[in-house]
Amino acid sequence: MKNSTNRIVFWIVVIALIVGSVSVIIYSHKSTSSADVPPVSDSDWTLGNKESDIVLIEYSDFQCPACVSYFDLLKDVVEEFDKHILFVYRHYPLDSIHKNAGFAAAAAEAAGKQGKFWKMYDKLFGNQSDWDYKSKEEAETVFADYAAEIGIDVQKFLKDLYSEEVIEKVERNRQSAVSAEIYYTPAFILNGELIQNPRTLEEFRSLIRTAIEKNT
């Protein structure tokens, strides 16, 4: 009986070691991988140094809780390294699970047509709980209030919110993520490599510093 118990314990340990090894291999493989996304263009929303060779692209969803958790962290990173990197924001609304994500992306684009993309970006992420589970009609009212607060023409904003140009821009961003086989948000591409999402501000700083060092 004792020998049988020992054998069971032995095989449990062996299986655990195998599973752990496989997990490490998978994690290491996923930590970075090439991401075939479109190059930065004039249609992209950017912050930082437009002349920099160090480019950080984020594919994000305004209704995604994980994206909100990176909101302040990214602001700190971009502010700290604004002379060294170019930060690019691209829409990736996961409409199947976030019913207002695409609508929020359109709101940011509509504000962008009046030069206030980043102001709306701050409003949407900073106040996500105000609109995330509302009906489309209710969300529209919230977005219109934001438009007024950031000082843009509300009527033009509402017209642009449903415009073909805005809807197509959001969809192009989304499709570029899908084509690159990116299936989650937020997703970060640093100099063409899809990176494992940093867990802390210091991890993000370390990644940026390493990229800067490689570029000098």
Residue found under tokens 């994690």: 27
What was the pLDDT predicted at 7?
A: 53
pLDDT band at 32 (very low <50, low <70, confident <90, very high): low
What was the pLDDT predicted at 6?
A: 46
What was the pLDDT predicted at 17?
A: 36
Whether residue 4 has pLDDT greater than 60? no
C-alpha distances out from residue 169 to 74, 92, 107, 111, 176, Å: 23, 11, 12, 13, 11
- Any idea what the Cα angle at residue 181 is, between residues 81 and 177, rounded to 5°? 55
- Asked if 61 and 98 count as a contact pair (C-beta separation under 8 A), the reply is yes
What's the rounded mean pLDDT across residues 16-37? 50
Give per-residue pLDDT as tens, 111-153: 999 999 999 999 999 999 999 999 999 999 999 999 999 999 9
- Asked if 92 and 173 count as a contact pair (C-beta separation under 8 A), the reply is yes
pTM of the model: 0.84
pLDDT band at 2 (very low <50, low <70, confident <90, very high): very low
Question: Among 110, 90, 103, 117, which residue's Cα sits nearest to residue 174?
Answer: 90
Q: Give long-range contacts, CB 8 A cutoff, 24+ apart: 69-73.
A: 70/186, 70/197, 71/125, 71/126, 73/198, 73/201, 73/204
- % of the chain surpassing 90 pLDDT: 83
